[in-house]
Amino acid sequence: MSIDTQALDDVVHVASAISDVVVIELAGVNKWYGEFHVLKDINLSVNKGERIVICGPSGSGKSTMIRCINRLEEHQAGDIIVNGTEMGNNLKNIDAIRRDVGMVFQQFNLFPHLTVLENCTLAPIWVKNMPKAEAEKIAMQYLERVKIPEQAQKYPGQLSGGQQQRVAIARSLCMSPTIMLFDEPTSALDPEMISEVLDVMVGLAESGMTMLVVTHEMGFAKRVADRVIFMDQGEIVEQNTPDEFFTNPKSDRTKLFLSQILAH
Amino acid sequence: MTDATQSDTAFRPKPSLPPPANTVGAVGWLRKNLFGGPVDTILTVVSLYLVYLIVQFAIEYGIINAIWSADTYRECLDINRGEGACWAGIGVWFNSMMYGRYPDEEQWRVNLGGIILLLWLIPFWLPKITGKIQIGMSAVLTFPFLGAALFLGGEFGIFLHVMASVALTLFAAVWLHVATTYVFGRSLAELLVSATGFAGKDDRLHKYVLLGAFGVGFVLSLVYLGSWDLVEIPTTIWGGLFLTLVISGIGIASALPNGILLALGRRSKMPVIRVFCTAFIELFRSVPLITILFMAVTMMPLFLPVELNPPKLAMVIVAVCIFAAAYMAETVRGGLQAVNKGQYEAAQAMGLNFWKMMALIVMPQALKLMIPNIVGSFMGLMKDTTLVSIIGLYDILLMGKAAGQNPNWLGFHTEPLLFTAMFFFVLCFAMSKYSQHLERTIGGGYGRR
Ligand SMILES: Nc1ncnc2c1ncn2[C@@H]1O[C@H](COP(=O)(O)OP(=O)(O)O)[C@@H](O)[C@H]1O
Ligand SMILES: [Mg+2]
């Protein structure tokens, strides 16, 4: 079976700088929603600076898996270790991990009652006790990096979807995380806005950030990912470099998925 | 055929015709809204006639036949045979309906308390002023103690003395803050820090400067309040609108914070807290206020040691606060449910702890959604406090009723009721208007969503 990957062939891969320090370790992670087994024996280890793209059919447990990494979901069996801190019921550990891990959501989840600038300074001020002036200076730097410093005084409701998602990325970066999680960051966007968000993410990858990205943007995967992970029915079915993954998928489920994704 | 010539001529729109004469102007409006058909016309005529009857009666009863000066109800009746109001009686009873049996020569204390509270809240509406939340909190949390010291008088205990001093210090600070803001354009805190030469020093030291300034103010207030020598006025003779405002004011001020705590407790993951809060809310929401009031004044004293023997008013206030909190808790819970789950997740992912997430992200959004309901509960509570008349507290309603039982004023019932109704209408209407104003202005920048 051959898959048409023409469109992806001429993508140039961003240089990667993977160190051999493991920053995220999932070992034998299992999770159930009542009777429903969402995560089945997940084993995954991520090195510092590594960029991982996670794909798979809807409902396969991608969101659940990355949300376990910052404890938006609780796992019931197995170990999750982030930056050497064991994830458990210890609130101190959870706080420590959340300070290090930024997250960007499909629906942006900006705070509608705060301006763009206040969205960005809230956590540095209230979690890190940073003086307001310093927090604002840092926030403006990141807003410049995502190319919307001129929107700082507006409210999220006044921005387009692409702008809102870029603010959400800047907001996460203001906490200077070492790891960034993205859960389908472009799925809620109109097509013409997808590339402005992806560009920001590519820039972030170039700066050496450790990234876990759930996305179906295969061009982005090809360009940025060091590893592509395919999930189905709560399992990691296959993982490989993007080249191998797209040109030489091993399991039938992966082939079927890729043919559906790349068909259009 | 004509087709060819038609397609050659360019399209030229004709100017629109003016609307038919009878759809514009006052006549058009009348036709459209009031006389649109036979049914509309009949309804309009009947309504206009009813309005005419009511207005005519109001003018005759309230103005034309009304008596403005008389010494007894008999005098009024002799002149207008009850076909007009006896407003003279309101003049005679006005003082009682405002203050109950609070002695005339001490009523300035009530007025002063009211003025202090108003002054405390005025900075809330001044533009420029910073720290409005702190100002509001200081008023709500500490004014009741200053008020109690002022209204009660006598030898107040050490606790009341200390708390009233705290209140007085904060009140002075609020107005010094207003003064420095308008005169020097800087907040009181900034001015204190720079005046003591700590401006360049570590931010953490600033706190001690402010604490020191507070300490000085506190000691001064302590001494000043110690020099007060007010006649003791027991709560048993408080009454009238003053009593109504004391009960409903404390009930309203405590309802929101207590309601928020109960609502959060009901959603808590800790079973003991959740069960307790749920039981508390459901119990007090399902029992009429009047029952709670009766239990508070008849049963509570049986459980408390005799030496404590709290005044009836204190028990009534506790009962009203409990009732108000239980109602408010459900209002708040509704607001919390309306906040998007993604907001909680984003706040958690950023590392905010539970209380910061609630205070900074969830509550501001929930409260904005809840404003109409919150103010609705406040209005309900304000009117419900008239139930205290049933257990014998002389609030404005019972005081008005008492007027009609005075030998000289037997049968004088309608006018005090109208007068009382007017007060409640003014207070509640003002709240309602203010809530609409808040809804428009709070977080005005939401923009499109
Ligand atoms: N809170 C929940 N309760 C019960 N089932 C859930 C819950 N959240 C997700 N699920 C189920 O878990 C499965 C995996 O969900 P998710 O991780 O969101 O999938 P994906 O992100 O891959 O589309 C889905 O079948 C979904 O219906
Ligand atoms: Mg998902």
Tell me the backbone φ, ψ of residue B272, rounded to 5 degrees.
-60, -50
Does A95 sit within 8 Å of B351, measured CB to CB?
A: yes
Residue found under tokens 């409006």: B29
- Cα–Cα distances in Å, from B100 out to A222, B80, B317, B334? 82, 29, 17, 39
The answer to whether A155 and B447 have CB atoms below 8 angstroms apart is yes
**Pairing between strand A85-86 and A101-104?**
unpaired
CA quadruple B102, B103, B104, B106: dihedral sign? negative
What ligand is nearest to the CA atom of residue A60? 1
Residue whose CA is at the smallest distance from ligand 1 atom 1: A33
In this prediction, residue A3 has a pLDDT band, given cuts at 50, 70 and 90, of: very low
Q: Region A221-248: what's the mean pLDDT?
A: 93
Q: Please tell me the residue having the least CA distance from ligand 1 atom 12.
A: A38
Mean pLDDT of B426-431: 93
A38 lines ligand 1 (CB under 6 A): yes
Is the shortest distance between the CB of A33 and ligand 1 below 6 Å? yes
For residue B348, count other CB atoms closer than 10 A to its CB: 19
One-letter identity of residue A231:
M
**What pLDDT does residue B2 have?**
46
Q: Which residue of B has its CA nearest to A73?
A: B345
Q: Cα(B387)–Cα(B397) distance, rounded to whole angstroms?
A: 9
Q: A113, B368: Cβ pair inside 8 Å?
A: yes
Residue B45 host element (H or E): helix B38-59
Give me ligand 2 centre to Cα A54, in Å: 11
Q: Is B353 exposed, middle or buried (0-12, 13-18, 19+ CB in 10 A)?
A: middle
Of residues B246 and B303, which shows the higher confidence score? B246
Ligand 1 site, residue A63, Cβ cutoff 6 A: yes
Instruction: Identify the H or E element spanning B52.
Output: helix B38-59
Contact A175, A128 (CB under 8 A): yes
Distance from CA of A228 to the nearest CA of B (A): 24
> Which ligand has the nearest atom to the CA of A183?
2
Q: Which of A91, A116, A126, A183 would best serve as a mutation to test chain B binding (most B beta carbons within 10 A)?
A: A126
CB–CB of A231/A55 below 8 Å? Answer: yes
- The confidence band for B4, taking pLDDT boundaries of 50, 70 and 90, is very low
* Token pair listed for B387: 């139930």
pLDDT of amino acid A26: 95
Q: In this structure, which residue's CA is closest to atom 20 in ligand 1?
A: A59
Residue B1, pLDDT score? 43
Give the sign of the dihedral formed by CA A80, CA A81, CA A82, CA A85: positive
Instruction: Locate the ligand 1 atom nearest the alpha carbon of residue A57 and give its number.
Output: 22
Ligand nearest to the backbone CA of B345:
1
**Which residue in A63, A155, A159 has the most chain B C-beta atoms within 10 A of its own C-beta, making it the best mutation to test that interface?**
A155
Q: What single string gives the DSSP state of each residue in A154-212?
A: S-GGGS-HHHHHHHHHHHHHTT--SEEEEESTTTTS-HHHHHHHHHHHHHHHHTT-EEE
Q: Is the CB of A187 under 6 A from ligand 1?
A: no
Q: Which long-range contacts (CB under 8 A, 24 or more apart) does B333-341 make?
A: B333/B263, B333/B266, B333/B267, B334/B370, B334/B373, B335/B366, B335/B367, B335/B369, B335/B370, B335/B373, B336/B263, B336/B264, B336/B267, B336/B362, B336/B366, B338/B366, B338/B369, B339/B365, B339/B366, B339/B369, B340/A109
A256 alpha carbon to ligand 1 midpoint, in Å?
Answer: 21
Domain boundaries, chain B: 21-91, 104-232, 238-449
Question: Which chain A positions have a beta carbon within 8 Å of B443's beta carbon?
Answer: 112-113
Task: Give residue-wise pLDDT tens across range B192-238.
Answer: 888 877 776 667 777 888 888 999 999 999 999 888 888 999 998 99
- State how beta strands A36-47 and A85-86 pair: unpaired
* Cβ count near A91 (within 10 Å): 11
Question: CA-nearest residue of chain A to B365?
Answer: A113
Q: Is pLDDT at B3 greater than 70 in this prediction?
A: no
Grade residue A261 by pLDDT with cuts at 50, 70 and 90. confident
pTM value? 0.82
**Residue of A70, A126, A131 with shortest CB distance to B352:** A126
> Scanning every residue of chain A, which has its alpha carbon at the shortest distance from the alpha carbon of B367?
A113
Report the atom number in ligand 1 closest to the C-alpha of A36.
5
Other CB atoms within a 10 A radius of the CB of residue A107 amount to 18
Burial of B387 (0-12, 13-18, 19+ CB in 10 A): buried
Q: Which two tokens stand for residue B153?
A: 């008088």
Cα(A40) to centroid(ligand 1), Å: 13
pLDDT digits (tens, 9 = 90+) for A54-108: 999 999 999 999 999 999 999 999 999 999 999 888 889 999 999 999 999 999 9
Three-point CA angle B412, B418, B420, nearest 5° = 100
Contact B243, B394 (CB under 8 A): yes
Task: Tell me whether residues A158 and B448 touch, CB distance under 8 A.
Answer: yes
Hey, CA dihedral for A195, A197, A203, A208, is it positive or negative? negative
Q: Is B447 close to A111, i.e. CB distance below 8 A? A: no
Terminus-to-terminus CA distance in chain A, angstroms?
Answer: 17
Per-residue confidence at A2, pLDDT binned at 50, 70, 90?
very low
- The answer, yes or no, to whether residue B165 has pLDDT greater than 60, is yes
Of the partner residues A99, A107, A126, the one whose CB lies closest to the CB of residue B356: A126
Q: How confident is the model at residue B443 (pLDDT cuts 50, 70, 90)?
A: low
All residues at 6 or more sequence positions from A66 whose CB lies less than 8 Å from its CB, including other chains: A54, A103, A181, A183, A212, A214
Residue A79 CA to ligand 1 centre (angstroms): 20
Question: Is the minimum distance from the CB of A61 to ligand 1 under 6 angstroms?
Answer: yes
Across B269-293, average pLDDT: 94
Which of A98, A155, A157 lies closest to B349 in CB terms?
A98
Three-class secondary structure of residue A81 per DSSP: strand
B127: distance to nearest CA of chain A, Å? 20
From the alpha carbon of A183, which atom of ligand 1 is closest?
21
Mean pLDDT score of chain B: 87
Please identify every residue whose CB atom is under 5 Å from ligand 2, which is an ion: A 63
Query: Tens digits of per-residue pLDDT, B353-412?
Result: 999 999 999 999 998 889 999 999 999 999 999 999 999 899 999 999 999 898 989 889
Chain A positions in Cβ-Cβ contact with residue B345 (cut-off 8 Å): 72, 105, 109
- Give B436→chain A minimum CA distance, Å: 18
Chain B residues whose beta carbon lies within 8 Å of the beta carbon of residue A122: 350, 352, 360
Q: Is A262 exposed, middle or buried (0-12, 13-18, 19+ CB in 10 A)?
A: middle
Question: Taking 50 as the threshold, does the pLDDT of residue B447 lie above it?
Answer: no
CA distance B175 to B177: 5
Q: Are B142 and B221 in contact (CB under 8 A)?
A: no
Contacts of B176 (CB under 8 A, 6+ apart): B188
Residue B234: both structure tokens together: 């027991």
> How many Cβ atoms are within 10 Å of B269's Cβ, its own excluded?
6
Going by the DSSP 8-state scheme, the letter that residue B67 receives in this structure is B
Contacts of A175 in chain B (CB under 8 A): 350-351
What mean pLDDT do residues A107-119 have?
Answer: 95
For chain B, the C-alpha Rg in angstroms (whole number) is 30
Q: What percent of chain B has pLDDT over 90?
A: 54
CA atoms of B267 and A24, how far apart (whole Å): 32
Tens digits of per-residue pLDDT, B64-106?
888 888 888 888 888 888 788 889 889 899 999 999 999 999 9
Kindly give the number of the ligand 1 atom that is closest to the alpha carbon of A64. 17
- Distance (Å, whole) CA B416 – CA B389: 14
Q: CB of A167 closer than 6 A to ligand 1?
A: no
| HSE-up of residue B6 (Cα within 13 Å, Cβ side) | 3
Identify which of A155, A171, A172 has the shortest CB distance to residue B445. A155
pLDDT band at A190 (very low <50, low <70, confident <90, very high): very high
In DSSP terms, which residues pair with A103 in a beta bridge?
A: A181
Give pLDDT, residue B207: 81
Question: Hey, are the CB atoms on A113 and B443 less than 8 Å from each other?
Answer: yes
B364 contacts A126? CB cut-off 8 A: no
The shortest C-alpha distance from B371 to chain A (Å) reads: 15
Given a contact cutoff of 8 angstroms between Cβ atoms, the answer to whether A185 and A201 are in contact is yes
Residue A189 neighbours by CB under 8 Å, 6+ apart: A161, A162, A165, A197
Q: Do A127 and B340 touch (CB under 8 A)?
A: no
What local confidence, expressed as pLDDT, does residue B446 receive? Answer: 52
Structure tokens at B48: 């206009």
φ/ψ of B85, rounded to 5, equals: -75, 155
Per-residue model confidence (pLDDT) at position A264: 58
Token pair for residue A15? 């240089």
Give the nearest partner residue to A70 out of B343, B349, B446, using CB atoms: B349
**Residue of chain A whose Cα is closest to the Cα of B363:** A113
* Least confident among A13-27, A162-176, B419-433: A13-27
pLDDT digits 0-9 by tens, B99-146: 999 999 999 999 999 999 999 999 888 888 888 888 988 999 999 999
Q: Please state the rounded mean pLDDT for residues B182-194.
A: 84
Main-chain dihedrals φ then ψ at residue A99, nearest 5 degrees = -70, -30
Query: CATH number of the domain at B238-449, out of 3.40.605.10, 1.10.3720.10, 1.10.1510.10, 3.20.20.70?
Result: 1.10.3720.10
Residue nearest to atom 26 of ligand 1 (CA): A59
